[in-house]
Amino acid sequence: MTAPTTSRVQASDVLIIGGGIMGCSTALFLRQRGVSVTLLETDLVGRQASGTNFGNVRRQGRPLYQLPLANRAIDIWRRMDALLDEDVEYRQRGHIRVCYRDRPEMAERMETYAAEARPAGLDLELISGNALRDRFPFLGPEVLAGSYSAQDGHANPRLVAPAFARAARRAGAAIQENTRVTHAAKVGEDFEVESQDGRVFRAPILLVTAGAWGNQLSAQFGEPVPVTARGPTMSVTEPVPYAIPPSVGVMTPDEVETVYFRQVERGNLVIGGSTRGPAHPELYRSYVMPRNTLSQLRQIQRLAPALRRLNIIRVWTGIEGYLPDSLPVMGPSGRVSGLHYAFGFSGSGFQIGPGVGDVMAELIATGATTTPIDAYTINRFQGDD
């Protein structure tokens, strides 16, 4: 293991660039494996997508290939309080996904998905007709059928990445906030990474967990990736008595119709979905477009008409990196030994985040992982224009 030095050049076994849920959880799990680690974050940990997201801890709807990773993550979510010594408001209160009467083919797809997901460890209950309305009386008349996952749930995204960072720091990781990496290169056997204020960090292993900014770093190693940044539209209502334990969402191929909500124990309803807005990673800015919020509110009234009566007290968005196939880049570099990536989680990285951290730590510490991630190789983009 490399000993930290006190000179201008700071050394450790692993350097991580990016302090969202991916970077912070990897830092903790690396420390648990006895690996020394320094994490570099432009701003404050958890301030970008990991801290601004909707908070769905949802396995259903993920590609079947991703379920082993999602299951690995759920095992960690379940022991999160003990792992982090903090309550990150993870509540396993279920997730119901519904479809509308004018899209009956979605109900068939739900059935197929439920049959295929069961052997992968995800049990889904298909519900329709009176049974659906008895169980979920807030659903609107346009809703045809639903698929319920009892073991999914939600958590407070503002708490999770900072809690991972604090736990990693307690376990011996160096977490360097206000440290924006401007240049990264491999010099001899080590990576040399320079921050905007002129500090240099060195390690034989480099992990890029820079979210929507991942391409800025992978391109420095000759591996550009077509990341598009967008800002999902979020709203929160005034608090009302707590009555809706599960997360609720619509299954539809139409982005405009895609809407979801959850109620926090304090009573507020958090709403996400419908049209996403613009995001500018180079400026660290994303914008809520009023027309997108209005579209979201139209859609939420179809899903749960009673929500129409609630006042929206705040809207926000965040910067998320999307890849053309909606899958992340995860795994070793195709070109540079010792370099690893985990970025571009395309709107669904929060649930799998702790699993990603565990897998990346395993991969870095042992050279292999028991969870399939080959589909996420960065090589799938090499050769693109």
Ligand X SMILES: Cc1cc2nc3c(=O)[nH]c(=O)nc-3n(C[C@H](O)[C@H](O)[C@H](O)COP(=O)(O)OP(=O)(O)OC[C@H]3O[C@@H](n4cnc5c(N)ncnc54)[C@H](O)[C@@H]3O)c2cc1C
Dist. CA 100–CA 256, nearest whole Å: 14
Tokens of 295: 């579209």
- The answer to whether 261 contacts ligand X (rule: CB under 6 A) is no
Member of 15, 17, 74, 107 binding ligand X (CB under 6 A):
17
Applying CB under 6 A, among 10, 12, 38, 53 the residue interacting with ligand X is: 53
Dist. CA 159–CA 152, nearest whole Å: 18
Q: Name residues contacting ligand X, limited to 152-191 (CB under 6 A).
A: 180-181
Least distance (Å) between residue 317 CB and ligand X:
6
* Residue 174: both structure tokens together: 């160096």
Least Å distance, CB 284 to ligand X, is 7
Q: Which span (1-9, 43-51, 94-102, 369-377) binds ligand X, by CB under 6 A? A: 43-51
Assign residue 243 a region (left: φ > 0; alpha: ψ between -120 and 50; beta: otherwise). Answer: alpha
**Which residue stretches of the chain are H helix?**
21-32, 49-52, 67-78, 80-84, 104-117, 129-135, 157-170, 214-218, 290-303, 349-366
Does 132 participate in binding ligand X (rule CB under 6 A)? Answer: no
The closest alpha carbon to 339, from 224, 217, 228, 175, belongs to: 217
Residue found by looking up tokens 């795994």 in the block: 331
Binding segment toward ligand X, per CB under 6 A, in 114-122, 206-214, 220-228, 305-313: 206-214
The distance in angstroms from the start CA to the end CA of the chain is 40
CB closer to ligand X out of 232 and 332 = 232
Q: Provide the minimum distance between the beta carbon of 382 and ligand X in the complex, in angstroms, as a whole number.
A: 21
Q: Considering the rule CB under 6 A, would residue 273 count as an interface residue with ligand X?
A: no
Query: Is 320 a residue that touches ligand X (CB under 6 A)?
Result: yes
- Answer for which of 61, 146, 153, 211 binds ligand X (CB under 6 A) is 211
The SS3 assignment for 130 reads helix
- Residues in contact with ligand X, counted by CB under 6 A, come to a total of 40
List residues binding ligand X (CB under 6 A).
17-23, 40-43, 47-50, 52-56, 180-181, 209-213, 232, 234, 272, 317-318, 320, 343, 345, 347-351
